[in-house]
Amino acid sequence: MPVKKSNISQNGSSTKDKNKKQQEEEESFKITHIFEAVAALPRVLRLVWSTHARLTTAMALVSILRGFTPAVSFWITKQLIDSVVNAIKTHHIAMVLWYVGAQLAVNLLDRLLSTLSKIVQQLLQDRVSTRVQLLILEKANTLDLAYFEDAEFYDKMRRAADEATYKPVLIISQSF
């Protein structure tokens, strides 16, 4: 009768439990993770920039423009309130209508910039993903077969390939 091997170690915990604990510790929030992310930012920016500089610039410009729309909207709202108070006193609503139209225009511009931002980000994400996948395949082509038999190496390579589809552009877009 064959003896079934157990995954239980001497202290009674399984290797699955140890792996799960280790993964939870890696995923938990630590201040060092912030410093590591900031340190990796220039490298990620170089990767994204070298993939497509025009789309990266467009993403930055759209983000900057979107940053100004709340301030402009706030100013228009202030002017609108002042013009309503003035219209109550003078019974002329021309300026009220003008500021309402300006507020509508700023909101439409913000929606347009939001859509444009998503389009640019998706285009850039597709190109960066393709480039990183190609870099991974080129690197894998130079490795010996023994590397692929190592489960830890293969998992890291798969994780890099999976995260390449979204992480680099996400990091850059959140930085802008």
Give the pLDDT band (50/70/90) at residue 133: confident
Q: What is the pTM of this model?
A: 0.65
User: How high is the pLDDT of residue 6?
Assistant: 45
Tell me which range, 3-12, 64-73, 126-135, 157-166, is most confidently predicted by mean pLDDT.
64-73
Cβ partners under 8 Å of residue 67, min gap 6: none
pLDDT tens figures, 154-168: 888 888 888 877 777
Give the pLDDT band (50/70/90) at residue 68: very high
Q: What secondary structure does DSSP assign to the chain, as a single string?
A: -PPPP--B-TTS-BHHHHHHHHHHHHHS--HHHHHHHHHHHHHHHHHHHHH-HHHHHHHHHHHHHHHHHHHHHHHHHHHHHHHHHHHHHH---HHHHHHHHHHHHHHHHHHHHHHHHHHHHHHHHHHHHHHHHHHHHHHHHHS-HHHHH-HHHHHHHHHHHHHTTTHHHHHHHHH-
pLDDT tens figures, 21-65: 656 655 666 777 677 767 777 888 888 899 899 999 999 999 999
User: How high is the pLDDT of residue 32?
Assistant: 73
Give the pLDDT band (50/70/90) at residue 7: very low
